[in-house]
A and B are shown apart, each in its own frame.
Chain A
C-alpha cells in the first residue's frame, strides 16, 4: 500500500508542474489550474490511503467539511478588486497550518524525543520542523496584518515605532531562534518544556506583525509575494520533516516561483527586497521632492466636457490604471468609455506598470473582468516608447508609477524606479480624488506639468461623465 501512496504522490507532483506550466500563457491557464487542482485531489486521496488505519476519522471529516464551508463562499463571491486581500488571507491560513503541524509533531513525539527511536537523521528533521514552525507562524501573522491593511481595517500607511523598529525585529528573530535551539537541545534529552515551543510560535508571530505593519500600501505587491514564497518554503520544510515528497515538491516550487516574483516586483520599484521589508518608506515625504511640488505651482483642473473633447479628437489614447481605479471599481466604466472611443476610430491601449495596484498583475485581472482584451494591455517596456506618439494619456488613480521625478530628480525618494513616461504624450488627464500624494507619500510633479490637467472626483463617476459627454458630441 505504501508503494501505491508513493506512486500517487509522484503522479500528483507531476500534475502540479504540468499545471503550473499551463499558467504561463492565457490560453492554457484555465486548464493548467484545473490540472493542478486534480493533482491536489490525487495527493489527497493518497494521503487518506496512507492514514487509512487512523482512529480519528470523525475529526478529520468534520474538519474537512468545516474547511470547505468556510473556504468556498469568499472565493466565489469576492469582488475582483478585493482579490489581493483574499490571497493574503488564504496564504496566511496556509502558513498557520504549517506552524500547527510542527506544533502537533512536537506534542506527538514528546518534544521530538520520539524521533530518536529510529536510527537515522534526527537533527535535520528537528531543524526542518523548527524552521516550519518559525516561518509558518511569521507568515500567518504577517499575512493577517497584510489582509487587514488591504481591507482597510488597519490604515494602509506605514505604522512603525521609528528607529527602534529594526532592533526590535532583530530581538524577536533572535529570541525565536534561541527558543528553537532550546527545543532542539531538549529533543536529545528528555524533551524541552512545551512552553518553549509556545515561545517560538509567539515570538515568530509578533515578528510577522511588526515586519508587515511598517510596510506601506504601495509595497504590498512585494509583501504578498514574499509571504507566499515563505509559506511555500515552510511547507517544503514540513514535508522534509514528515517524509512527504508531495509536500516537498509542491512547497519548494511555490517557494522558488514566489522568490522570482518577489524579485521581479522589487526590481520594478528599483528597490531591494531587504529595503522594502525594512519598511519606513514615505512616512514624512522627502525634502527634495516635497519642495519641488508644494511650492507656488498650481495644478490646472478641468471638466468632464473638456476632457471629452480632447479625447474625441485624439488618434490614440493610453489609459494608465492604478490602485484608485480598483478602489472606485471603475474598470467597467473605463471599458464603456473605451467602447465609445473605439466606435469613433480612436485606438485605446492600456499601460500597466508591474507594481500598479496591490498585487502583481492586479490591474490585468480587473481589466480582464471588464472584458478588455489582453492584447490591449501593454507592459511598461512595450508601451513606454508609444507615449510620444499618443495624443491623450488618461491616468486613472495611478500616481507613483507615473511620477517623472523618478527619472529626473535625483533627490526624489523614488529616483531610479522605472516609471511610465506619460509626460511625453501630447496631453495628460489625471483622474484623482484630491491633490493628496500617493501611498509612497511622494509629491508628483506630473500634476503640475505643462500638458497636464486634473479631473477631480471619484474615478468611476468621472469616467462615466466623460463617456456621457463623448456620446453627446
Chain B
C-alpha cells in the first residue's frame, strides 16, 4: 500500500466517525440496549481480520495457526451471538397482534 491508499483509508475512517455520530444521535432510550448489542455484533467484523492474517500467510507456523484459530473462534462468537441476541431483543419490541395488546393500548391512548 502506498501513501495515497493509506490516506484514503484515513479519509474513510474520519467520514465513518461522522456517520456513526449522525446516525446514532437519533436513537431513543428505549432502543439503547438493542443498539449496543447490535453495534457489538457489528464490531465482530474483526473476524475478517483474523481470516486475512491467517489466509494471506504463506506456510503459517504453529503459533500463528493457534493464534488465528482462537481469533476466528472469538470473532465468530462475537458476530453470530451478537446478531442473534439483538434479533431476540428486537422481536419483543415488535408491534404485536391487537388482541394481546388491547388493555395496554387503550389505557395509553387516552394520555398520548
Q: A residues engaging B (CB < 8 A)?
A: 13, 16-17, 19-21, 23-27, 29-30, 32-34, 36-37, 40, 43-44, 47-48, 50-51, 54-56, 59-60, 62-64, 66-68, 70-72, 74-76, 78, 80, 83, 86-87, 90-91, 93-94, 96-98, 100-101, 103-105, 107-108, 118-121, 124-125, 224-225, 228, 231-232, 235-236, 238-240, 242-258, 260-261, 338-339, 342-343, 347-349, 352, 354, 359-362, 364-365, 368-369, 371-377, 379
Contacts and interface: CB of A to CB of B under 8 A. Distances in A.
Contact of A54 (B30, B56, B89): B56
A40 B68 contact: no
Interface string B68-111: 11111111111111111111111111111000110111111011
25 contacts: A56-B65, A60-B72, A71-B78, A76-B84, A87-B33, A91-B43, A93-B74, A97-B46, A100-B50, A101-B49, A107-B64, A107-B67, A121-B1, A238-B46, A238-B49, A248-B12, A254-B43, A256-B19, A256-B20, A256-B21, A260-B20, A359-B32, A360-B35, A364-B30, A365-B34
Contacts of A101: 46, 49-50, 53, 71
A63 B76 CA distance: 8
Contacts of A236: 13, 16
A37 B40 contact: no
Nearest to B68: A104
B33 A40 contact: no
Nearest to B70: A100
Contact of B45 (A59, A235, A240): A235
B23 A33 contact: no
B68 to A, nearest CB: 5
A23 B34 contact: yes
Considering the complex of A and B, which 10 residue pairs feature the smallest CB-CB distances, nearest first?
Answer: A67-B76, A51-B55, A256-B20, A361-B32, A360-B32, A63-B72, A252-B16, A257-B24, A100-B71, A361-B33
A364 B29 contact: yes
B75 to A, nearest CB: 4
B93 A374 contact: yes
Classify the secondary structure of B's interface with A.
helix
Nearest to B6: A121
B23 A232 contact: no
Q: Tell me whether chain A's interface is mostly helix, strand or loop, or mixed.
A: helix
B21 to A, nearest CB: 5
Contact of B42 (A40, A60, A124, A239): A40
B103 to A, nearest CB: 5
B97 to A, nearest CB: 11
A454 to B, nearest CB: 27
A286 B41 CA distance: 40
Contacts of A239: 9, 49
Given A50-B52, A60-B55, A252-B20, A359 B33 contact: yes
Contacts of A24: 23-24, 26-28, 31
A10 B79 CA distance: 19
A255 to B, nearest CB: 7
A252 B13 contact: yes
B66 to A, nearest CB: 9
Given A248-B16, A371-B96, A376 B108 contact: yes
B39 A120 contact: no
A51 B12 contact: no
B2 A244 contact: no
B45 to A, nearest CB: 4
Contact of B78 (A94, A121, A125, A360): A94
A87 B39 CA distance: 10
B73 A232 contact: no
Contacts of A118: 1
Contact of A70 (B29, B77, B82, B85): B77
Contacts of A228: 36, 39-40, 43
